[in-house]
A and B are shown apart, each in its own frame.
Chain A
Amino acid sequence: MNAPVHVDPQTDAYDTPLDQIDVSNPRLYQQDTYFPYFERLRREDPVHYRKDGMYGSFWSITKFKDIMHVETHPEIYSSDAKLGGITITDRPMQYRRSSFISMDPPRHDEQRKVVSPIVAPANLNNMSSIIRERTCKVLDGLPRNETFDWVEHVSIELTTLMLSTLFDFPIEDRRKLTFWSDCATADVNAGGIVNSEDKRLEILREALAAFTGLWHERAARPGGYDLISMLAHGEATRNLVNDPMEYLGNLTLLIVGGNDTTRNSMSGGLAALCQHPAEYQKLRDNPALIPSMVPEIIRWVSPIIHMRRTAKADAEIAGKRIREGDKVVMWYVSGNRDEDSIDRPNEFIIDRARPRHHLSFGFGVHRCVGNRLAELQLTILWEEVMKRFPRIELMDEPKRIYSNFIHGISEMKVRIPG
């Protein structure tokens, strides 16, 4: 189980004693071998307790309906940073940064409402022309008949441009946003630059310094429709800058939320099409399927692997007794493949009847605030891709990151024949 490199995951998933299965192992996601483990858990033990796993003891919630239950009972299943927050990793208390995703109602509601107007329908209409203009520019600059990294040249570039617009962040420094986003979510054991919580904080302090400067600049002038102006003038958040760690928490939430997830859907969507040639052909024959393909991509990719809650009281899920203080992990990657809730879940189908019935955005009060913006960016990307490039070829398996939280693709070699 700890070294799935040399084992057949299908065999290992069924040979490992049930109580030894540890779906928190980030290698499962890096090597894309997690499916049979969840398939077994959904069948044999859908609410599964792993004692002393790689990330401590925790409950795994693997079925769509049970995940929905946890999502819609925030009064029991808390997101509070002080209890452990929203990821399976239990960070030492001094490194826990609060933000509205890691708060419960009513404070969560107050802070979220300050920023949510930026992604309201009317504002999305305003943003769509700039998104399209940039998407066209990026696509027109891509090389032909030459292998290049789609992640670097398309996914990162487009999402980081979007992010700099949302924050009104200096566009020439936009790759800093990507860097901070990656540092904020990096697993300290992944072998990257963030090898300790201290190192992470050291890097994120640079982000805090830059954004504190922007805050004071925006607070001094009225209005403004960027996220920093909204926070600086919002009733519930206007003093946020005086609590630097909570300001940083909210910044990293907005940077990661607005960046990483859409980036990986941009990469994972192309990979899915290349790996399902019949669906790719369906898209070529009928680009009008893009609006239903986009949510299917988001389901298929499941850009966030899990969200975590902590039980604030004794409770029960599907007959299992959950104790106060227990760590409860909702595995979106599993719920999105649950045959009891999704028809033919292991097939990538770009014209599903109800494609938005997936867990990738979460549900309940913490449902992704930017979900329609993400869909808009992906829709425009695919509309413009199909106008230009009827065929893009995947030259190698996508390289995935070591993480049990962000379902990340770090590199994807492609080629546009032409």
Chain B
Amino acid sequence: MPTVTYIEYNGTEHRIEVPVGKTVMQGAIDNNVPGIDADCGGECACATCHVYVDAAWLDKTGLPAPGSQEASMLSFAAVTQPDSRLSCQITVTPDLDGLVVRMPEGQH
């Protein structure tokens, strides 16, 4: 099963096995990883599962398409960076085994 490493804003790391087909957000919620709120439950409608994707993985996860709902919702999140994604929009594949994401200071 692919492993995803979630790094909290304070540096705490969580290595979690996430089944293929689940989203990175779901992997965090199912394992009570703090720092990802996911208020809307994966509808891409709240921007409270915001993460920064580690530079080494950006090619594989990609970035939100301009004009997409994800890009639109992300634009309202606090402290976005060029590597920002909504983790409910990243589906885990065998390719993403080892993925590293970091959490922002807060979800909002």
Would you call the interface of chain A mostly helix, strand, loop, or mixed?
helix
**When the two chains form their complex, are residues B106 and A121 in contact, meaning their CB atoms are under 8 A apart?**
yes
- From B37, B44, B105, contact of A122 by CB (8 A): B105
Note all chain B residues with C-beta closer than 8 A to A72.
43-45, 69
- Tell me, yes or no, whether A112 is within 8 Å of chain B by CB: yes
- Tell me, yes or no, whether A113 is within 8 Å of chain B by CB: yes
Chain A residue nearest to B48 in the complex (CB) = A356
CB distance from B65 to the nearest CB of A (A): 15
- Tell me, yes or no, whether A120 is within 8 Å of chain B by CB: yes
CA distance A372 to B61 in the complex (A): 29
CB distance from A50 to the nearest CB of B (A): 27
Instruction: Report the contact-size class of chain A (Cβ under 8 Å from the partner).
Output: 20 to 34
| Segment with Cβ contacts to A, from B12-20, B73-81, B90-98 | B73-81
**When the two chains form their complex, are residues A365 and B72 in contact, meaning their CB atoms are under 8 A apart?**
yes
CA distance A363 to B44 in the complex (A): 9
Note all chain A residues with C-beta closer than 8 A to B46.
363, 367
CA distance A105 to B69 in the complex (A): 11
Note all chain A residues with C-beta closer than 8 A to B107.
121, 372
CA distance A109 to B46 in the complex (A): 14
Which B residues are within 8 Å of any A CB, using their own CB?
Answer: 29, 37, 39-41, 43-48, 69, 72-73, 75-76, 78-79, 104-108
Q: List 26 A-B contacts (CB under 8 A).
A: A68-B40, A68-B43, A68-B45, A71-B45, A72-B44, A72-B45, A72-B69, A112-B76, A116-B78, A120-B78, A120-B106, A121-B104, A122-B105, A124-B108, A354-B41, A356-B39, A356-B48, A357-B41, A363-B45, A364-B45, A364-B73, A367-B45, A367-B46, A367-B47, A367-B76, A372-B107
